[in-house]
Amino acid sequence: MLMSVGSLAAMGLALGSVLGVASRYLAVEENPIEAELQAMLPGSQCGQCGYVGCAQAAAALAKGEAPVTLCPPGGKATAEALAAKLGVKVDLSKVSDSGPQIAEVTEEICIGCCRCMKVCPTDAIIGAAKQIHNVIREACTGCSSCVDVCPTEALGMAPIPVTLQHWTWPKPASAHS
């Protein structure tokens, strides 16, 4: 009786100290996930999430202070990727995902004031003073910073049109549920 209690206790102690030592010496340095998270964000530093830039947003995500749905330009896809990385469940149906959007200039109203060009984080707007501006579709991240500064509301957000190259078959409706 005493023998078995003693041996079990000894084993417990031994294994426990092994675990303790292991946790001390094999501890993971700092939070490497922050860099990974930052890599998943669009990186346009648009500030729509409420943080100064993508690095700060990633830090908040890593600490669990911000929801994975924080990034409007990233949309559903980014939220999904973040949720998968952080291992959290998230109800994506509430993410307003009108699909990825990009800025569009209404040429009739544009006065060529150049304000939008200055705020665009990716230099996606081209033009010169008193010239109608234009958006380079491939470079626009859809951060909508330019929309806020446009004095004539010539800038607006429009969904990226679905093309033959982008169209995919929808997932078949499941037999169950």
CB of 55 to other proteins, least distance (A): 11
CB of 69 to other proteins, least distance (A): 17
CB of 151 to other proteins, least distance (A): 22
54 or 150: CB nearest other proteins: 54
62 or 124: CB nearest other proteins: 124
45 or 69: CB nearest other proteins: 45
Report d(CA 122, CA 46) in Å as an integer: 10
Residue 7: C-alpha distances to residues 10, 12, 21, 99 (Å): 5, 9, 21, 63
CB of 97 to other proteins, least distance (A): 13
Buried b (16+ CB within 10 A) or exposed e, 139-172: ebbbbbbbbeebeeebbeeeeeeeeeeeeeeeee
Q: Is 102 in a helix, a strand, or coil?
A: strand
Binding interface with other proteins (CB under 8 A)? 42-45, 77, 100, 120-124, 138-141, 162-164, 166-172, 174-176
Cβ atoms of 104 and 140 closer than 8 Å = no
2 or 175: CB nearest other proteins: 175
CB of 133 to other proteins, least distance (A): 16
28 or 164: CB nearest other proteins: 164
DSSP one-letter code for 175: S
